[in-house]
Structure 1
């Protein structure tokens, strides 16, 4: 199950702007400026349980999608406005493919009092629920010989005397199948365990090994590309287990549970879901939008460059990075 929301994308196609199965809209903020990439352009910031989406109100194809999985830090800052008063800016530092990017969103809605509480709250919920989406080894999931169930989790089967073949000699333990994940833990040491969410499973088959017919679980490349083997006896039980897991995994793909739960303190739960409006976009196939990745590169703490007068802008501005000009940064469609 591929999660396109786990990274970030610029100029997202409308099909990827729409929420995927299991993704819920938590909040929507108006009059938000993408200060670093599109200064002066107001848009809408949509907060879901998996990512943050921003798009220009005047031209929705100018947009970006940032998955919480790329976040390094997120915080807010109070800014003084030119015409008096104060507003709040959201600063997000991210990491993707060994590069760091930063995003700054400024709220220009003078009537807003919540600002970015939903973004920070949902992100914290995302971080605290990684066990729904990541393989966990040797974690504290077993208490008093029982699996510590997650919210919305139900046990479907518990199978005794299952061998974990991840190490050469093998270890015997208990194999648990739930509606969210697969869990195995050793009988002699409950801290020797593994939790495998369905979200991380790329393939599950029965193969012949030196230990005999084995249940083999291959995790996705994004989750580490692990190969996990379990021996279930007798052979009939092995096939029953494989079939049960395949059915539950198929159901999970139709109705995935990501574990990210957030409710506004000042609103009842019934009001927390907000629809993402549909919009049509005009695709321009004859001219490509400028490469905007450079706008969002993080410069760390060495940041600010000396401002110089720009004839093109008619005001003083920081010199751009080497290889770019102020004129090119303000172009939507390259002139060359």
Structure 2
């Protein structure tokens, strides 16, 4: 398997198992909404405590005793979420998150059990993020002849802003061409015909493979090629006057490059009420998942992650008589014994 973190988006469209750590790192634009533990993958890894990570693109689960055992479920693959009473290897008969997913010709069933009594955050987080993902498809999907124009104005998405509004742009998809308007935003490129605004196309930068100019039977044209996963369309446009074409191409290339560095994926979550066990304070600030270091128990693994995130003020070491050394003050809830104790799941 060969993936690229700056190329086509795959994290939301695939179901994968036992991935190398590099494929569990967050891609540009991916962010964590929730981290929940301990969670048991009751169907695939019963009896093993793990951590669930909910991002704006996928659901990640990994074993805490052996992080090499993991799975990544793209939000686009999820068909349904519900609750079901199951027999957990660690909790016995209990209610769990039941999730159905599909990838290519395969169908998958996942059952995740929260080992913390009376905690349903794993269900509310997954179902909420999945709904937010489904409602934000215009940020990621190429659309043809859709209801995106009202009174000759583009319907703006919540995180979208208009960068350029170019009139007298010809779409070269027919023998004579169609005169229209091109609206360029921080998220997508939209073109619609002046005489019939239902004849339109919306191309998120995420779907665009390349932007260039080349000769055509109409003269020099702006050519936008989309990725094979988005249909592999090659769309040509001509500007009047023609001298605008190169500057328009340069603007589009620059906006496309900026988007690839910091994508706007459109999946946003607002917690209407505090969950029973709120997400940790550093969830929204995390840029990547901490790399597992060998076979760590839960306390040692969590402590190693917490140690990576320090406050703005430099923490002064303190003398520890037990070790005879100056050490960084321990986080609340940790002791020297728990840091050196290797735990295994029972």
**Residue 59 and residue 190 in structure 1: after superposition, are their counterparts in 2 closer, same or farther (change >3 A)?**
same
Provide the secondary structure at the position in 2 that maps to 1:240: helix
The separation in 2 between residues aligned to 1:111 and 1:70, in whole angstroms, is 28
Offset at residue 277 of structure 1 (A): 4.8
Structure 2 residue 248 is the aligned partner of structure 1 residue 236: no
Distance 1:84 1:30, change over 3 A: closer
Distance 1:218 1:82, change over 3 A: closer
Partner of 1:294: none
State the match for 1:142 in structure 2.
Answer: 149
CA 1:13/1:234 → structure 2, altered by over 3 Å: closer, same or farther? Answer: same
Q: After superposing the two structures, state which structure 1 stretch, 41-50 or 166-175, moved more.
A: 166-175
Q: Deviations over 1:242-268 (max 9, x none)?
A: 000000111111111000001222249
Q: How far 1:25 moved relative to its partner? A: 0.5
Residue pair 1:14, 1:281 contacting (<8 A) in 2 also: no
Aligned to 1:39: 46
Q: Deviations over 1:182-206 (max 9, x none)?
A: 0001111111111000000011111
**Please, which runs of 5 or more residues in structure 1 have no aligned partner?**
284-336
Q: 2-side partners of 1:88 and 1:29: how far apart? A: 16
Number of corresponding residues: 283
CA distance in 1, matches of 2:181, 2:91: 65
SS in 2 for 1:21: coil
Q: 1:98 to 1:168 in 2, by over 3 A?
A: farther
Alpha-carbon distance in structure 2 between the residues aligned to 1:212 and 1:270: 58
Question: Post-superposition shift, 1:81?
Answer: 6.7
Q: CA deviation at 1:168?
A: 3.3
What CA distance in whole angstroms lies between the structure 1 residues aligned with 2:254 and 2:104?
Answer: 34
Shift of 1:114: 2.9
Match of 1:303 in 2: none
Distance in 1, matches of 2:199 and 2:280, equals 41
1:279: how far off? 2.8
Deviates more, 1:274-283 or 1:87-96: 274-283
Q: Distance in 1 between matches of 2:79 and 2:26?
A: 23
Unmatched tracts of structure 2, length 5 or more: 1-6, 296-346
Which residue among 185, 189, 193 is the counterpart of 2:196? Answer: 189
Change (3 A) 1:243 1:269: farther
- Offset of residue 89 of structure 1: 1.6
* Aligned 8 A contact 1:8 1:70 in 2: yes
Q: Which residue of the other structure, out of 212, 224, 229, is the alignment partner of 1:217?
A: 224
Give the corresponding residue for 1:266. Answer: 273
Q: String of CA shifts for 1:216-272, please: whole Å, max 9, x gaps.
A: 111111111111111112222000110000001111111110000012222499956
Is residue 153–residue 180 contact of structure 1 (8 Å, CA) maintained in 2?
yes
> How many Å apart are 1:119 and its aligned residue?
0.5
Deviations 1:11-39 (A, max 9, x none): 11111212111111101111211122112
- After TM superposition, the structure 1 = structure 2 runs for residues 281-292 of structure 1, keeping only pairs within 5 Å, are 281=293
Q: Indicate the SS of the match to 1:101.
A: strand
CA RMSD of aligned residues (A): 2.4
SS at match of 1:265: coil
When the two structures are superposed, what TM-score results if normalisation uses the length of structure 1? 0.78
Shift of the 277–177 alpha-carbon distance from structure 1 to 2, 3 Å rule, reads closer
TM-score by length of 2: 0.76
Distance 1:179 1:136 in 2: 17
Aligned to 2:262: 255
Higher mean displacement: 178-187 or 157-166: 157-166
